[in-house]
Amino acid sequence: MIDLERPGNDDRYLLYWNAELPTSGVADPLGLTLRVGARLSDELSYCITSITPRARYYSFFPWAFKRAWDALGQNTELPQVMSHVLSDERAMALGAVLHHGGQPCEGGALQGSNGAQSIASDLGRDPIDLRAWKHLEDKEGGFAAYKGSLINLGVFLSEEQEDRNDDKGDFDEKQTDQLSAGRLSPLGMELARSFSKAVAETAYLQARPDRDALPFELLNEFGGRAGLCELQKADGCDLEPLRSLFFATEIQGEDNSHYRRRMSLLLFMYAAKVADANGLVLSREVIDHLTFYRRLKSPSDEQSEIVITIPEELDDIAERWRVFHFHNYLTVSLESLLAGIARSVRGHPAGLTIEEIVQDFDSADARVSLADKLPLNPTESFWDLTPASTLARMGIETDALLEIGQDGSEKLRSCKMIEHQLRSFLVDEGMVTGPAGPAIAGILLFTLAIRFRYATHKRHQGWNRRKVLDQTNDVSLPGLLDGLESQFGSDWWQRSNRTVLKRVLSRHVIRQHEAMSYERGVGGSPSLFHLEGTRIVGNDINRDDVDLGNARFPSIIQILRDLRLITDQESRQKLTNDGAALLASCIGS
């Protein structure tokens, strides 16, 4: 199920990863984010989602479940167990806020912290009956967000394991977010025991939140041990077991998502190291540039680039993140074309044909605006050029590549950060709403196409292809390129931009948006336009917000912070001693 939300300025997007997507018209208008995009990021940061940023919940919940089973007995029904777990979660949320003098834990609040802050400031509510405090809307509280990740990490016994009465807790990569009986696996038990060391001897353990109101002082003491940021001090308790969990130290083999998560965490640690060494803040952009171009922008001079050599051990995972970024750039390109169409058809109650829309994209204003940014002439039409001649203007000589195949691919692999520049025009400078937006989106698509075809290993192209489960509805770069080749032949680079992009507009933007609008489910939003024969009739809605970016980035960084592997110093991120030692032991540098 999808939970797409954009809370205030928090710059976080809530995307559930673990189920198939009803797409909604405006939230994910071409299905790029929640289909292939979500599958790529699922694998890269398996079980670390945009809504599960705090490491400590991964030991806290097992502990709370164990405590509930111990107290209630093995024959208890799951809802009763859940209500016990929920009380402990409330005690933790409120306790941590009390412990921090009314503020939430450092580095991001516990779920329910807002309510906890108002309770903490009201001494009239001391002692408090936790049963009567509804800290979150969801009846499963904060567990709702972490549940899928905990299940897929193997913290609970699966249904089959229960049936077999087998508690081997073998690793199983079948994703689900359905909790069967809520019984802990050996891994879950181990996490529970490690957390219990952290809270041993707190008075809370003797208290009865299911029966009594509890004094603030008692919760304060509990929060001081059980809170999220308190994990960092939990040496000898759950810190090491959680590191093992996230780095999947118990899981063998390199062809599974847990291994992929381990390598992603190491890649992000490596990124922290090189960013710091070069005076850069570890940002989404750093990860993007590091994996897409193996270069970073110099902090002192925007024009100069720093070449980064990625250690061999991280080469494969860096290439997979590069594919992820290819897909993100593709999303920006196609959604910008979509935004252009939605703007173009406004004020035309009878709609426009694709032909007319492309004419509109080729206005005098569009030509001037394009020539202002890129080496194109204001008197010529971008739509009359070919992809090959357009790329040549951008400094990418395609002839050699197209004639003799892979030669020159290394040069192409790292040449100028064009995609970054084009995205920046569209997103940062807002050109997506201007007349040149569609042409810039087209150029972005061509640069992606050539780099993907000629400077990306077949193995990683294949990985992207394997994330396409539904040929009709899943848009991917390899699928789009296959389509162009099958329609126009492998020399489609020599057709006119008009011809090539009309196919892209028709097939991957207009029909795709229609298909996604029909499919949309829960909380769906209206489509931007609809088709009437060959005419595209607008619904008077714009949709210019095209850059979802790397939604899991903040969670991955926060998990590394919680595990005390990176730390913030002078607004930059540095590896801690533990982090440096771990990275060195894994990549031998």
Kindly list the residues in this chain that would bind Zn ion in the complex (CB under 5 A).
96, 105, 227, 229-230
Q: Which two tokens stand for residue 289?
A: 């540039």
Instruction: Give the angle subtended at the CA of 563 by the CAs of 202 and 327, to the nearest 5°.
Output: 135
Nearest 5°: phi and psi at 531?
-95, 135
Contact 304, 298 (CB under 8 A): yes
DSSP reduced 3-state for 456: coil
The CB-of-63 to Zn ion minimum distance in angstroms stands at 16
| Closest CB to Zn ion among residues 102, 186 | 102
Helix H, strand E, coil C: the string for 470-525 is CCCCCCCHHHHHHHHHHHHCCCHHHCCHHHHHHHHHHHHHHHHHHHHHHHCCCCCC
The DSSP output letter for 180 is S
| Closest CB to Zn ion among residues 229, 337 | 229
Contact 48, 556 (CB under 8 A): yes
| Closest CB to Zn ion among residues 108, 351 | 108
| Closest CB to Zn ion among residues 100, 262 | 100
Q: 529 has which bridge partners?
A: 538
Contact 352, 344 (CB under 8 A): yes
In which element (H, E) is residue 399 found?
Answer: helix 399-404
| Closest CB to Zn ion among residues 101, 588 | 101
The CB-of-142 to Zn ion minimum distance in angstroms stands at 15
| Closest CB to Zn ion among residues 57, 321 | 57
Q: 128 has which bridge partners?
A: 214
| Closest CB to Zn ion among residues 99, 320 | 99
In which element (H, E) is residue 566 found?
Answer: strand 566-569
| Closest CB to Zn ion among residues 38, 198 | 198
DSSP reduced 3-state for 439: helix
The DSSP output letter for 382 is G
The CB-of-95 to Zn ion minimum distance in angstroms stands at 9
The CB-of-147 to Zn ion minimum distance in angstroms stands at 22
DSSP reduced 3-state for 531: strand
Nearest 5°: phi and psi at 536?
-105, 115
- Rounded to whole angstroms, the Cα distance separating 565 from 576 reads 5
| Closest CB to Zn ion among residues 234, 551 | 234
- Rounded to whole angstroms, the Cα distance separating 285 from 537 reads 37
The CB-of-101 to Zn ion minimum distance in angstroms stands at 11
Q: For residue 188, how many C-alpha atoms fall within 13 Å in the half-sphere facing its CB?
A: 28
The CB-of-7 to Zn ion minimum distance in angstroms stands at 21
- Rounded to whole angstroms, the Cα distance separating 458 from 558 reads 33
| Closest CB to Zn ion among residues 390, 576 | 576
Number of CB atoms found within 10 A of residue 468's CB: 16
Q: 537 has which bridge partners?
A: 530
C-alpha distance from residue 184 to each of 66, 151, 169 (Å): 7, 10, 9
The CB-of-576 to Zn ion minimum distance in angstroms stands at 18
- Rounded to whole angstroms, the Cα distance separating 25 from 309 reads 41
The CB-of-143 to Zn ion minimum distance in angstroms stands at 19
The CB-of-231 to Zn ion minimum distance in angstroms stands at 9
| Closest CB to Zn ion among residues 98, 296 | 98
The CB-of-305 to Zn ion minimum distance in angstroms stands at 40
Q: For residue 532, how many C-alpha atoms fall within 13 Å in the half-sphere facing its CB?
A: 9
Omega prior to 387 cis, within 30 of 0: no
The CB-of-229 to Zn ion minimum distance in angstroms stands at 4
